[in-house]
Amino acid sequence: MSENNKQDLIVIGAGPGGYVAAIRAAQIGMTVRIIEKETIGGTCLNVGCIPTKALYANAGTVNTFRNSAYHGIISSGFELDMKAVLRNKKKIVKQFTLGVKSLLKANKVKTVIGTAKFFGLSELEVETAEGRIERHTADHIIIATGSKSAALPANGADLDVVINSTGALELETVPEHMLVVGAGVIGIELAGIYRSFGSKVTVIEFMPNILPNMDHEVASKLQKEMEKAGIRFFLDSKVVSIEKKDGRAAAKIESGGQTFEETCDVVLNATGRLPNIDGLNLEALGIQHDRQGFIAVDENYETSVKGVYAIGDVIPGFMLAHVASAEGIVAVERINGQDSEVDMNLIPQSVFSFPEFSSIGKTEEELIAQNIDYIASRSYFRGNGKALTMHDAEGIIKVLASPDLQTILGVHILGPHANDLIAESAAAMYSMLTIEEYASIMRGHPTLSEALAEAVENFLGTAIHVPPQRKK
């Protein structure tokens, strides 16, 4: 048994929440130790956000080749080398994780690779990667252990033909037919990627809409674009069971009051994620959490036990890397007496689909449910010069505002580089610009941001490239 000196702060988990919290604490002057069970960078950097976007970039390049004739480039054909795709992904992940390790070291954050569990108040027992048992103590402990894939609620879900998102990022061959269960962000992104790679893709979604937490009108338009690409959708549907037949998966599906069987090479479980609190021994201290594992915290991100905090995917709210990072910063700053906060009303949500879909603020469905008065304005990328030159002009921008035009309530973008464009709206909403103030900002020409300007100007009747509404 090895004893370790006491720290001001210990962070459990080195994902985007944990490592950011650790570095911010070190900046403030705290002594910090971070404990990571597997690999620095957590799910996001190793088997989530970053590797998925690496494959997304490959898929986008494939799409460019397929559509090269639009640009006057006649290609005699191309071949996708999945082994090279995976090598490139691993190279990017390694570069990123090495960067995080360097940042932790530069900020004098001590790193321990091992499995931590609560042993007592302010104390952790850690089994290191080398098999040693150590005790670590700190005045403050932050739980930032992230999330894990939820189990697929179907008989046969444990068969080897059923994979989760991590498995989808390791496929060495492109499946002939992929069945995706779940049309949330993970399911939609991987469906688009593997369709671009050449798979036949079928998506099964229990809810009546894809991306059910995002604006339904814009999500519906995304679904139509994905259907144009050859992806099939079964909404209001569920997978009842999966059997393995001749090395393939036979999934029994209930849809529209009928049951049918779909045969595919692989079933991707994208039904969601749950908090990863396994093995932490939270019960030893009485740290409160619900049946799913979400840990209860107060406005300081402090749990039911004084001195123990939780951030990111292990607490209720958005399961997003940038939210976890923001919460990590705020938790540390609040420990140190600063009055910072995360504005949960201004969380950008990004879907790396084809085309991209991004959103911030309220959806139209939320405004209706909350009985909030609003008006909507729309513009379309087909009227945008840069989008036309890119041959990527399918998409819509939808802006929601208060009837007096004093408040921007929500912005929803489907189209090229939507996930970058949303930052402009985030800045405008954070700054509490009125519609008139937002419309007064000059954009460069030709840029995609002009399409966003048109949607805002349309509220005032000053949009140039949007046809005026017909008078009744």
Looking up tokens 């970039």, which residue turns up?
57
Q: Please spell the DSSP secondary structure of 244-261, one letter per residue.
A: EETTEEEEEEEETTEEEE
How far out from the chain centre does Cα 33 lie? Answer: 27
Q: Please spell the DSSP secondary structure of 277-302, one letter per residue.
A: -TTS-GGGTT--B-TT-PBP--TTSB
Q: What span, in angstroms and rounded, lies between the C-alpha atoms of 233 and 180? A: 9
Encoding tokens for residue 214? 């995002």
Mind spelling out the 3-state secondary structure of 319-344? CCHHHHHHHHHHHHHHHCCCCCCCCC
Alpha-carbon dihedral sign for residues 461, 463, 464, 470: negative
| Residue tagged active-site, from 140, 322, 412, 445 | 445
Check: CB of residue 336 under 8 Å from CB of residue 28: yes
What DSSP character marks residue 382? Answer: G
Number of other residues whose CB lies within 10 A of the CB of residue 120: 11
Go through the chain and tell me how many residues it has.
Answer: 472
Phi and psi dihedrals of 271, rounded to 5? -85, 5
Encoding tokens for residue 415? 């189209």
Number of other residues whose CB lies within 10 A of the CB of residue 78: 11
**Residues 6 or more apart whose Cβ sits within 8 Å of residue 420:** none
Q: Active-site residue 216, yes or no? A: no
Q: Which residues are designated catalytic?
A: 445
